[in-house]
């Protein structure tokens, strides 16, 4: 364990790039945009995070992983604070994160808020197939394997894929 006297918040942000989402392991907590603040004071650090979805079970694991990462880097007193406001949006996801998602086979969220409205039987969003880049795709289900995803299928290459829905 490294003994530290004063590590800057900037270096903590760097360390957090190593902490990934257990459900979508290509994304770091930085990519997700869920780190709201980092405060350091010698061996103490306080990290403020915001949940993606209210019921996302990955949040508890993420908190523990952040704590472990910082403890193993010499911090003695690590506090994880959770805030709900302002509510997280996929617009906070980094461009690098979106690129990583696509390479992983998950269509990244569209930029504009299109899903969170109450209009019924709305036409499917134009979601790009992460495999063949076609926009000729359709939605199979609004809900997917995790709270943050919906199921889509490509009409050109026929591959089904997850879409990280905009939120």
Partner 1 sequence: MNDLIDYTLHLADNALILGHRNSEWCGHGPVLEQDIAITNISLDLIGQARNFYQYAATLKADGSTEDSLAYLRDETEFKNSLLVELPKGDWAVTILRQFFFSTYQYFLYQQLQNNKDPQLAAIAAKALKEVTYHLRWSSEWVIRLGDGTEESRNRILKAIDELWPYTGELFQPGDYEKQSGITLSLLKNEWEKKVKEIFEEATLTVPETGNIQTGGKQGKHSKHLTAILAELQLLQRTHPGAEW
Residue (131 or 139) nearer to partner 1, CB: 139
72 or 145: CB nearest partner 1: 145
Residue recorded with tokens 């930029």 = 111
**Residue matched to tokens 């409205």:** 117
Residue closer to partner 1 by CB (options 3, 84) is: 84
What is the rounded (10 degree) CA torsion for 58, 22, 77, 88?
-50
> Minimum distance between the CB of residue 4 and partner 1, rounded to whole angstroms?
32
Q: Which residues bind partner 1 (CB under 8 A)?
A: 51, 53-57, 83-88, 115-121, 140-145, 147, 151, 167
Cβ proximity to partner 1, 26 vs 115, nearer residue: 115
Evaluate whether 120 touches 101 at the Cβ level (below 8 Å): no
CB of 82 vs partner 1, minimal distance in Å: 9
Q: How far is the CB of 72 from partner 1 (least distance, A)?
A: 23
- Radius of gyration for the chain, computed over Cα atoms and rounded to the nearest angstrom: 18
Pairing of strands 137-141, 149-154: antiparallel
| Shortest spacing between CB 56 and partner 1, in angstroms | 7
- Shortest separation between residue 109's beta carbon and partner 1, angstroms: 13
User: What is the rounded CA–CA span in Å between residue 119 and residue 149?
Assistant: 19
Outline where DSSP puts E strands in the chain: 35-41, 44-49, 77-82, 106-107, 137-141, 149-154, 160-164
Nearer to partner 1, 76 or 138 (CB): 138
């Amino acid at each position: 364990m490294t003994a530290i006297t004063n590590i800057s918040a900037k270096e903590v942000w760097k360390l957090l790039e190593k902490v990934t989402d257990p459900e979508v392991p290509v994304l770091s907590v930085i990519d997700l945009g869920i780190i709201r603040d980092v405060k350091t004071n010698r061996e103490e650090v306080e990290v403020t995070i915001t949940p993606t979805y209210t019921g996302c079970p990955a949040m508890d694991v993420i908190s523990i992983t952040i704590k472990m990462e910082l403890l193993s880097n010499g911090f003695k007193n690590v506090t994880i604070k959770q805030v709900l406001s302002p509510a997280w949006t996929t617009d906070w996801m980094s461009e690098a994160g979106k690129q990583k998602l696509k390479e992983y086979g998950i269509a990244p969220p569209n930029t504009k808020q299109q899903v969170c409205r109450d209009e019924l039987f709305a036409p499917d969003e134009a979601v790009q197939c992460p495999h063949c880049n076609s926009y000729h795709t359709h939605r199979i289900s609004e809900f997917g394997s995790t709270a943050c995803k919906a199921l889509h299928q490509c009409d050109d290459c026929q591959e089904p894929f997850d879409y990280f829905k905009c939120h």
